[in-house]
Amino acid sequence: MNQSYDQINIQVKNINPTTIFYLPTKADVDFTERQLRTQYRKLDDELIGTEEVLDQIEINCNKAGNALRPNWRDITRRNIEIWFGKNKEEDL
């Protein structure tokens, strides 16, 4: 789900200026994919949806206390396309 400009604006206004934002890395995506495969006992050839991976990354970051950048989902979706190829954007 994409956030509207107004929602992001409200989030940005409510952020402490010293907050350091975290942007998920390829290692985070790889770890999360392995985590979901183990959790749901999916085989290597079974697809995992990008949104499912992003949801789990958000859970992992919240547990770790990492504040995610307001537009991290859009950036990470684009990065997934770069890291894994255009065909991988829909499913990992």
What's the rounded Cα separation, in Å, for the pair 57 and 59? 5
Instruction: Identify the burial level of 70 via C-beta atoms within 10 angstroms of its C-beta, where 0-12 means exposed, 13-18 middle and 19 or more buried.
Output: middle
Give the whole-number percent of the chain exceeding pLDDT 70. 70
89 vs 31, higher pLDDT: 31
Query: For the segment 46-66, what is each residue's pLDDT rounded down to a tens digit?
Result: 788 899 999 999 999 999 999
Single pTM value for the model: 0.72
Query: For the segment 8-22, what is each residue's pLDDT rounded down to a tens digit?
Result: 444 555 556 677 899
- According to DSSP, residue 77 is labeled H
Alpha helices in 1-92 (DSSP H): 5-13, 26-40, 50-64, 72-84
Q: Please say if the pLDDT value at position 32 is more than 60.
A: yes
> How many CA atoms lie within 13 Å of 45's alpha carbon, on the beta-carbon side?
0
